[in-house]
Structure 1
Amino acid sequence: MKILYYDCFAGISGDMNLGAMIDLGVDAGYLTSELEKLHIDGFHLEITKDIRRGISGTKATVVIENPENEKHRHLRHIEELVNQSSLSENVKKNALNIFRRVAEAEAKVHNIDIQKVHFHEVGALDSIADIVGAAICLDYLNVDKVLSSPIQLGGGMVQCAHGLMPVPAPATALIVENIPVKTGLVQHEATTPTGAAILAAMVDEFTEKIDFPVTRTGYGIGQRDVPDVPNALRLYLSETKGDMTDVKVETATMLECNIDDMNPERYGHLLDLLFEAGASDAWLTSLIMKKSRPATQLSVLCPENLGMDMKQIIFENTTSIGLREYTVQKSMLRREERNMETEIGTIRVKESFYNGKRIHAKPEFEDCKKLAVQHNISISEVEKVVAKHL
């Protein structure tokens, strides 16, 4: 399994991303030749080694050869350029997704139709190279999952085409909605709209947890050299053996509380409420609390977006006045259910897969019980019949 992790401790821009990708191992010649498939003249990539606050890395600069002749394009022009190119379909899809993130934000900021936005941010050659280049690099790495830390946005004011704007710039602020961010590390724009859009479009999960082996590290050097803080983007690449296509990994919320003063008859109703509200799992564990009191630990595992709903059920239906909450990572095998015909009837079978192979198969207990009653035989006899067909 291959994982790409963005460590945005000092923010991210389009050129920092390209530099970090090349530093991580993307072939610069390949990137250049793929960008030529856009059939746009007037720019070239300049790749150099540089250093920021003692950290060395790669600086990628999109050099505009005739700035005075540069055109500002609308979204439809960008879409035509990309769709008419000979880039791979995956690169086209990802590049257009990033472009649209910026376009939607700019349209909302200026309160105009998305196709009428005059894209000084997106239509410029350097932004085109940064965005299409990001899609090319990600396709080159062929990773299974993209993760990122919270994004450092910076602070202060930034000079835009419309004048001074607060950091984050309005378009950037819209793009990072519902994404974990940090601010104030530096008094400048640490994350550009292009950098934010790359992450918003490409990242599967934002987390500060790095619980995988790091195989390679790359640094993309920013154009600005500031005191105290290394202006660089760090990328981690993790490569582990094994086909993980049958394993789904996601984060979830765990809620726990210890209860020693509640009528145990209530627990059945409580668990029913939790499952009806969407809990992935909920269980009870016996324990001994202070003063040697027998007690019960309630544990609830749920999707992150249901945490508040679960808390409300717990506080309204138990005697607990507090709980513990933390984030966990779930790894789940691919599961399928099928109907299996046997000489005694149809039984649903649940199967799970790992590395392309079925490793578990289990008959649905309720179906086994129904057939046992129907044929006046034991459940173990039903299971023996099922075993012959698995």
Structure 2
Amino acid sequence: MKILYYDCFAGISGDMNLGALIDLGVDADYLKQELEKLNIEGFHLEIKKDQRRGINGTKADVIIENPDNEKHRHLRHVEEIVNNSTLSDTVKTNALKIFRLIAEAEAKVHNIDIQRVHFHEVGALDSIADIVGAAICLDYLKVDKVISSPIQLGGGTVKCAHGIMPVPAPATALIVEGLPVKTGLVNHEATTPTGAAILAAMVDQFTPNVELPIVKTAYGIGNRDAEVANVLRVYLLEGEQSSSDVETVEAVVLESNIDDMNPEHYDFILNELFDAGASDAWLTPIIMKKSRPAVTLSVLSSPELVAKMKTIVFTHSTSLGIREYRVQKHMLARQEIEVKISHGTVRVKQSYYNGRLLKSKAEADDCKKLASEHGLSIREIEKMVYNQLEA
């Protein structure tokens, strides 16, 4: 397996991404030739070796030849440029996915229709080159998976077309919703909307851990000369994963200790959490100060649903505070089948590991229903199901 890993310890921008991927092995002449397929004039790529704080890497700059004649485009104009090009379908699809993420964020920030978004940053030639270039480079590398570390957003303020804004810029903040981020390492905008959108669109998994051997390390050089090296580090990982049947995803655990709530209300909260999409929710008996018996309410959720989970806990419990921490979920590959027995049909969940069927679990609700209808015990229904499976 071949994996591209983004180590965004100092953030990411469109030009840093191009520099890093060229440094990793993308042929610069190939990238320039592919960008020519856009059939737009007025820019060219300037690529050179550079360094920040003693770290050597590649700097990629999109040079605008006539800045005074630069056009501001809407989404439909960008889509026309990409769709009318002779780029591959994969490159077109990925580039437009990135553009659309930024357009959706800008539309939401300004409360306007997506097609009315005036691309101050993204419709410009340099951003078109950065985004289409990213799609070209990722297609060139032919990796099986793209993984990223949490994204460093930076701090302080940033000057954009809408004035001076706190970091992250409004569009960036919307693009990274639900993704693991860090802030405050530097007092400037470390991640731009373009950089954030490239990751949001192209990354398959976010994790701080590298589990496969690193075969190559590369750096994309940014424009700043800050105390923290303004570089984007990327790794090329190669090797075999422990099992192709195990999926690893980012998740969030929320916890709250509660000692003053009517126990009859917990069932309602748990049902609300599950209905809202919680992966799991559970209660743990604990002893708090002054030997008071209490309960820890725990919720396991995907990152994008965290805000909804917090709202449910605060609204329907007596909790005054919630702890939050990120975890990784390792999940076996699974499928659901239907097993027919003489008394009806029961759904069965099956899980696999290293290509081998590991477990089969009859759906409890189905077994209960058939047991009730036919005057049998749940155990008898389950035995029929498992006998049928073995047969």
> Is TM more than 0.5 here?
yes
Residue by residue over 1:349-377, the C-alpha shift from the partner in whole angstroms, topping out at 9 and shown as x without a partner, is 22234566543222223443554566666
User: Separation in 2 of the partners of 1:275 and 1:289?
Assistant: 26
Residue by residue over 1:2-57, the C-alpha shift from the partner in whole angstroms, topping out at 9 and shown as x without a partner, is 66554444333211111112223444344334323323445443332211011111
Q: Pick the structure with greater CA Rg.
A: 1
SS in 2 for 1:277: helix
Offset, 1:95: 1.1
User: Separation in 1 of the partners of 2:353 and 2:45?
Assistant: 43
What is the Cα-based RMSD across aligned positions, in Å?
4.1
Structure 2 residue runs without a partner (length 5+): none
Q: Indicate if the aligned counterparts of 1:101 and 1:175 stay in contact, CA closer than 8 A.
A: no
Structure 1's 142 and 381: CA in aligned 2 closer, same or farther, altered over 3 A? same
User: Separation in 1 of the partners of 2:321 and 2:101?
Assistant: 41
User: Separation in 2 of the partners of 1:113 and 1:344?
Assistant: 55
In structure 1, what is the equivalent of residue 24 of structure 2?
A: 24
User: Separation in 2 of the partners of 1:46 and 1:222?
Assistant: 13
Structure 1's 272 and 212: CA in aligned 2 closer, same or farther, altered over 3 A? farther
Structure 1's 271 and 328: CA in aligned 2 closer, same or farther, altered over 3 A? farther
User: Separation in 2 of the partners of 1:365 and 1:169?
Assistant: 50
User: Separation in 1 of the partners of 2:2 and 2:265?
Assistant: 43
User: Separation in 2 of the partners of 1:384 and 1:106?
Assistant: 57
User: Separation in 1 of the partners of 2:265 and 2:157?
Assistant: 53
User: Separation in 2 of the partners of 1:107 and 1:254?
Assistant: 31
Code of the residue aligned with 2:96 in structure 1: it is L
1:351-362 maps to which residues of 2 (within 5 A)? Answer: 351-354=350-353, 358-362=357-361
1:56-205 maps to which residues of 2 (within 5 A)? Answer: 56-64=56-64, 72-104=72-104, 115=115, 119=119, 121-139=121-139, 140-155=141-156, 158=159, 165-167=163-165, 172-177=169-174, 179=177, 180=181, 182=183, 185-186=186-187, 189-203=189-203
1:277 and 2:273 aligned: yes
Q: Indicate if the aligned counterparts of 1:286 and 1:294 stay in contact, CA closer than 8 A.
A: no
1:279-318 maps to which residues of 2 (within 5 A)? Answer: 279-285=278-284, 298-303=296-301, 304-305=306-307, 306-315=309-318
Offset, 1:108: 6.9
Code of the residue aligned with 1:152 in structure 2: it is L
Structure 1 residue runs without a partner (length 5+): none
Q: Indicate if the aligned counterparts of 2:286 and 2:296 stay in contact, CA closer than 8 A.
A: no
Offset, 1:251: 0.6
SS in 1 for 2:17: helix
Structure 1's 245 and 238: CA in aligned 2 closer, same or farther, altered over 3 A? farther
Residue by residue over 1:200-221, the C-alpha shift from the partner in whole angstroms, topping out at 9 and shown as x without a partner, is 44456767x4364562433210
In structure 1, what is the equivalent of residue 240 of structure 2?
A: 241
Q: Indicate if the aligned counterparts of 2:155 and 2:167 stay in contact, CA closer than 8 A.
A: no
User: Separation in 2 of the partners of 1:47 and 1:54?
Assistant: 19
In structure 1, what is the equivalent of residue 329 of structure 2?
A: 330
Which stretch of structure 1 is more off in the superposition, 271-280 or 79-88?
A: 271-280
SS in 1 for 2:170: helix
% identity of equivalent residues:
55
Code of the residue aligned with 2:12 in structure 1: it is I
User: Separation in 2 of the partners of 1:379 and 1:169?
Assistant: 58
Structure 1's 136 and 192: CA in aligned 2 closer, same or farther, altered over 3 A? same
Structure 1's 387 and 42: CA in aligned 2 closer, same or farther, altered over 3 A? same
Offset, 1:130: 0.5
Which stretch of structure 1 is more off in the superposition, 294-303 or 45-54?
A: 294-303
SS in 1 for 2:318: helix
User: Separation in 2 of the partners of 1:272 and 1:114?
Assistant: 39
User: Separation in 1 of the partners of 2:186 and 2:154?
Assistant: 8
Which stretch of structure 1 is more off in the superposition, 379-388 or 55-64?
A: 379-388
Q: Indicate if the aligned counterparts of 2:285 and 2:296 stay in contact, CA closer than 8 A.
A: no
In structure 1, what is the equivalent of residue 340 of structure 2?
A: 341
User: Separation in 2 of the partners of 1:118 and 1:369?
Assistant: 58
SS in 1 for 2:227: coil
Q: Indicate if the aligned counterparts of 2:257 and 2:296 stay in contact, CA closer than 8 A.
A: yes
Residue by residue over 1:117-176, the C-alpha shift from the partner in whole angstroms, topping out at 9 and shown as x without a partner, is 664533333222111011223333535354342433454564x6x6x9425589x42232
Residue by residue over 1:214-252, the C-alpha shift from the partner in whole angstroms, topping out at 9 and shown as x without a partner, is 62433210134x252312122345555246476262312
Q: TM-score scaled by structure 1?
A: 0.76
Which stretch of structure 1 is more off in the superposition, 350-359 or 214-223?
A: 350-359
Structure 1's 149 and 377: CA in aligned 2 closer, same or farther, altered over 3 A? closer
Structure 1's 4 and 72: CA in aligned 2 closer, same or farther, altered over 3 A? same
Code of the residue aligned with 2:269 in structure 1: it is L
Residue by residue over 1:296-323, the C-alpha shift from the partner in whole angstroms, topping out at 9 and shown as x without a partner, is 653522322303422554426xxxx776
Q: Indicate if the aligned counterparts of 1:287 and 1:296 stay in contact, CA closer than 8 A.
A: yes
Code of the residue aligned with 2:313 in structure 1: it is M
